[in-house]
């Protein structure tokens, strides 16, 4: 089954007005007044305009996943995740993946590494307009010190790839984009 960006039977919503309600470092909140084509329906809709994100499944030469553990303000708890971050304006998603891997963990690709885009998802198309790209980087090696952003503090944890399903099943990994990334890896 192929997903089409146009649909023959469902009406589209057409934007009449846009208003930026708030602008932050990582997103802006926009209110849009929209009308549904062919009907008399109209309404206000709210969208978070956010930069694209990347996720990185980094595997060491002995097939361990490079995981990061950090406090997350949304859940107000510590979360076990893969490397992730924003794609800066001046870089490609691949460049962002390599940069974030080095900054968050100190791990870098080797001459034998594969760096591959294995999938992409829309984090929540109901109200977010960005894409999350998942990269697989194999045969990584620790060669640098971590370089945190101002509000980051990250502990690196290496886990055998074979343990990931259990970490998800038991609720040790709960970040939806991380779970999606491992699904991309399974589908590869």
* Confidence check: pLDDT of 95 > 60: yes
pLDDT tens sequence across 150-184: 888 999 999 999 999 999 999 999 999 999 999 99
- Break the chain into its structural domains and give their ranges: 13-50, 53-187
Report residue 138 as tokens: 């194999």
Judge whether residue 31 has pLDDT over 90.
yes
- Put the strands of the sheet holding 42-50 in their side by side order: 13-23, 27-36, 42-50
DSSP string, 5-59: SS-SSSPPEEEEEEEEEEE-SSEEEEEEEEEETTSS-EEEEEEEEE--EEEEEEE
Inter-residue contact 117 to 98 (CB < 8 Å): no
Looking at residue 50, its pLDDT comes to 96
Are 179 and 84 in contact by the 8 Å Cβ rule? The answer is: no
* CATH code at 53-187: 3.90.79.10
C-alpha dihedral (90, 91, 92, 94), degrees to nearest 10: -170
pLDDT in tens, 36-88: 999 999 999 999 999 999 999 999 999 999 999 999 999 999 999 999 999 99
């Amino acid at each position: 089954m192929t997903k089409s960006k146009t649909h023959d039977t469902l009406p589209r919503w057409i934007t009449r007005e846009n208003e930026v309600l708030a602008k932050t470092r990582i997103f802006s909140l926009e209110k849009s007044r929209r009308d549904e084509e062919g009907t008399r329906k109209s309404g206000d809709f709210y969208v978070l305009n956010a930069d694209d994100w990347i996720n990185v499944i980094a595997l060491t030469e002995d097939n361990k996943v490079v995981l990061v553990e950090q406090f997350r303000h949304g859940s107000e708890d510590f979360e076990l995740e893969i490397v992730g971050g924003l794609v800066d304006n001046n870089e490609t998603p691949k460049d962002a993946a390599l940069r974030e891997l080095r900054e968050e963990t100190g791990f870098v690709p080797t001459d034998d590494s594969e760096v591959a885009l294995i999938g992409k998802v829309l984090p929540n198309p109901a109200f977010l307009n960005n894409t999350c790209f998942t990269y697989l980087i194999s045969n990584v090696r620790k060669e640098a010190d971590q370089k945190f952003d101002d509000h980051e503090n990250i502990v690196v944890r290496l886990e055998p790839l074979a343990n990931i399903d259990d970490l998800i099943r038991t609720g040790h990994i709960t970040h939806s984009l991380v779970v999606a990334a491992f699904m991309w890896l399974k589908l590869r």
